[in-house]
Chain A
């Protein structure tokens, strides 16, 4: 077990390093610099700024300096937003993304698990077909389509909900719905198939034969086993809700990290690009590792390699 955990963590560190390295060199491939777009700036001033942030040094040296500082938790100052460190910006923007993403994960689990189980219990009935059709369609619809449809019907036509910003709870409804749409559909399908699998197991029949009540069988035997595949999906789902929120944040003008990342790239704000990439990548990778390890602990049938 310890060996497995050590291996997973080792791999995660290599991955984070790889992502950081790729990002560093890719971003320097993008032509233009952080100080080019500003108007009326003299060459001397540009040179001074570049010297201040160490951009005049050769690329390998910049890389080593950056990685060394990052290793010590110093992600530098933003090149564009003067007087703010990258960490400040992340600390300010991330809670917004996390709130929307976390709520969507919650919604997806709360809707997806019960509906998927119901579909499996009512196999072949109308309710099963209905849920399956909804789930299949849900997977096929890109997030921007959902966003725009919600925005049009709830926001523009019916004027039920505000369309911009995040000032009250009402603002959260549409982004959370849009973001949770795909994971909900996916969990419904996952839950249905794993529930069907569990319902056909011998121990279910044994429990029934022993006269265990229906509700107890459902909660104690069926649900606990059927929920395992959903646990593995929670990691990638969190990744999806954090990164997939690029579109949602753009459409609903939410001041989150996804939007910040895109502005940073178009503004060549090197330190901010690196900071957000490393932060998001670490978050996603750590989530995946935790889920993998938890999964192996929860389900002893899976052999540790």
Chain B
């Protein structure tokens, strides 16, 4: 048969229909084991030097603020007589006498404050408070924001419209004004609550800390809600959601099992970047004197206390100030690294 030169017909030979040889089959074998979402992200994260350094810094800070205080020979509220305003590594007269008598005295690495309290342990406790506030507040934001955002996006229509208008309003509320006001206003009800039976824990946690958490729960979840909403809006059109619905899965379960698990990358990144901003706000409040209650220190209140003696004891100011910047910086850089690793789309 004569072949038309511009024909699109396939030219097939009988050999094309022979079974593949062993050699040809080999080329189809997948050599590398399949990489899961987590493994892939982790691989990229481990390769990111800046993020790894930040993780190490965060772990070291956590060790010093959660583990070391348990073994530390001084306590954050213990006021030592005659040991006021010691310079770093300096000993009080009494301690000097004990050293001469052959006793071992643990040095005051960062000196002491004007009440004679060891400053190193106060800084450690301060960073503990800052970290705890950052983590718990972020947890609250994560729960409220992801629930709100996914519900708004999932149900759509009028529900979405009303819910997102509320978000818009909260978003434009000047936050600092309300934070200052709220932390004053919540003081008294929490004080009453503390004395009510069954609520003694309020006193243990400290009413200012609780009011900080309430502020975060009321105002700061909107960014997270917007983020989750935009993700869920996209995901809810996926086939597996239709399939799940066809199988009779309830709305709540679809949101929890299918939608939120699929935007886990965004959730991780947004959460990590939320931690430094929570710590930032807490230190700001403590600095203005609306944060944690005395004698509990926070990095913000330590810096605030040190301002008056700045002329003579500048290190009392520099240590907490630099530490808080370091913590916030590490969490920011870690968040950037996580974003590059788990959610590169989010970059812009």
Which A residues fall within an 8 A CB radius of B? 11-12, 14-15, 18-19, 22-23, 26-27, 29-31, 136-137, 139-145, 148-149, 151-152, 156, 193, 197, 239, 243-244, 246-247, 250-251, 261-262, 265-266, 273, 277, 280-281, 284-285, 288
Chain B neighbourhood of A18, CB < 8 A: 169, 173
Chain A neighbourhood of B325, CB < 8 A: 137, 140-142, 145
Asked if B270 is an interface residue, CB under 8 A from chain A, the answer is no
Chain A neighbourhood of B314, CB < 8 A: 152
From B175, B188, B317, contact of A31 by CB (8 A): B188
Contact of A281 with B177 at beta-carbon distance under 8 Å, contacts A144-B303, A246-B288 already known? yes
Report the bound CA distance from A152 to B276 in whole Å: 25
Contact B173 A277 (CB under 8 A): no
Contact A280 B177 (CB under 8 A): yes
Write the chain B residue with the least CB distance to A17: B169
Chain B nearest CB: distance from A116 CB in Å? Answer: 15
Report the bound CA distance from A239 to B171 in whole Å: 12
For the residues of B in contact with A, the DSSP-based class is: helix
Contact B332 A140 (CB under 8 A): yes
Report the bound CA distance from A31 to B288 in whole Å: 20
Contact of A145 with B324 at beta-carbon distance under 8 Å, contacts A27-B185, A30-B188, A152-B310 already known? yes
The 10 residue pairs across chains A and B that have the minimum distance between CB atoms: A140-B329, A243-B176, A145-B321, A26-B185, A140-B328, A31-B188, A29-B185, A141-B325, A144-B287, A284-B174
Contact of A30 with B348 at beta-carbon distance under 8 Å, contacts A247-B288, A284-B174 already known? no
Chain A neighbourhood of B348, CB < 8 A: 193, 197
Contact B188 A29 (CB under 8 A): yes
Interface string of B309-341 (1 = CB under 8 A from A): 011001001100110110011001100000000
Chain B neighbourhood of A23, CB < 8 A: 177-178, 181
From A148, A251, A288, contact of B321 by CB (8 A): A148
Contact B184 A247 (CB under 8 A): no
Write the chain B residue with the least CB distance to A149: B321
Q: Which of B168, B174, B178, B189 has the most CB of A within 10 A?
A: B174
Asked if B284 is an interface residue, CB under 8 A from chain A, the answer is yes
Contact A142 B177 (CB under 8 A): no
Write the chain A residue with the least CB distance to B347: A193
Contact B184 A265 (CB under 8 A): yes
B264-281 residues with Cβ-Cβ distance < 8 A to A are 276, 280
Chain B neighbourhood of A148, CB < 8 A: 303, 307, 310, 317, 321
Asked if B165 is an interface residue, CB under 8 A from chain A, the answer is yes
Q: Which of A19, A27, A145 has the most CB of B within 10 A?
A: A145
Contact of A246 with B180 at beta-carbon distance under 8 Å, contacts A137-B329, A145-B303, A152-B317 already known? yes
Report the bound CA distance from A128 to B317 in whole Å: 32
From B168, B178, B311, B328, contact of A22 by CB (8 A): B178
Residue contacts A-B, CB under 8 angstroms, 19 given: A18-B173, A26-B181, A30-B185, A30-B187, A30-B188, A137-B329, A141-B329, A142-B284, A142-B328, A144-B287, A149-B321, A151-B310, A243-B175, A244-B176, A247-B284, A250-B288, A262-B180, A280-B174, A281-B177
Interface string of B204-235 (1 = CB under 8 A from A): 00000000000000000000000000000000
Report the bound CA distance from A11 to B185 in whole Å: 26
Contact A19 B284 (CB under 8 A): no
Chain B neighbourhood of A285, CB < 8 A: 172, 174
Contact B317 A136 (CB under 8 A): no
Chain B nearest CB: distance from A223 CB in Å? Answer: 19
Chain B neighbourhood of A261, CB < 8 A: 177, 180
Chain A nearest CB: distance from B347 CB in Å? Answer: 8
Contact A139 B332 (CB under 8 A): yes
Chain A nearest CB: distance from B212 CB in Å? Answer: 15
Asked if B182 is an interface residue, CB under 8 A from chain A, the answer is yes
Contact A262 B165 (CB under 8 A): no
Chain B nearest CB: distance from A189 CB in Å? Answer: 11
Chain B neighbourhood of A140, CB < 8 A: 276, 325, 328-329, 332
Chain B neighbourhood of A142, CB < 8 A: 280, 283-284, 287, 300, 324-325, 328
Write the chain B residue with the least CB distance to A268: B184
Report the bound CA distance from A266 to B288 in whole Å: 12
Write the chain A residue with the least CB distance to B332: A140
Report the bound CA distance from A26 to B184 in whole Å: 9
Report the bound CA distance from A149 to B276 in whole Å: 21
Chain A nearest CB: distance from B49 CB in Å? Answer: 13
Chain A nearest CB: distance from B276 CB in Å? Answer: 7
Contact B311 A156 (CB under 8 A): yes
Asked if B304 is an interface residue, CB under 8 A from chain A, the answer is yes
Contact B185 A281 (CB under 8 A): no
Report the bound CA distance from A247 to B180 in whole Å: 12
Q: Which of B177, B303, B348 has the most CB of A within 10 A?
A: B177
Chain B nearest CB: distance from A167 CB in Å? Answer: 22
Report the bound CA distance from A144 to B324 in whole Å: 11
Report the bound CA distance from A261 to B181 in whole Å: 10
Chain A neighbourhood of B300, CB < 8 A: 142, 144
Chain A neighbourhood of B169, CB < 8 A: 11, 14-15, 18
Report the bound CA distance from A250 to B290 in whole Å: 14
Report the bound CA distance from A42 to B332 in whole Å: 56
Chain A neighbourhood of B303, CB < 8 A: 144-145, 148
Chain A neighbourhood of B317, CB < 8 A: 148, 152
Contact A136 B182 (CB under 8 A): no
Apart from A149-B318, A246-B176, list 8 A-B contacts with CB within 8 A: A19-B178, A27-B185, A141-B328, A144-B284, A145-B322, A193-B348, A262-B288, A266-B184
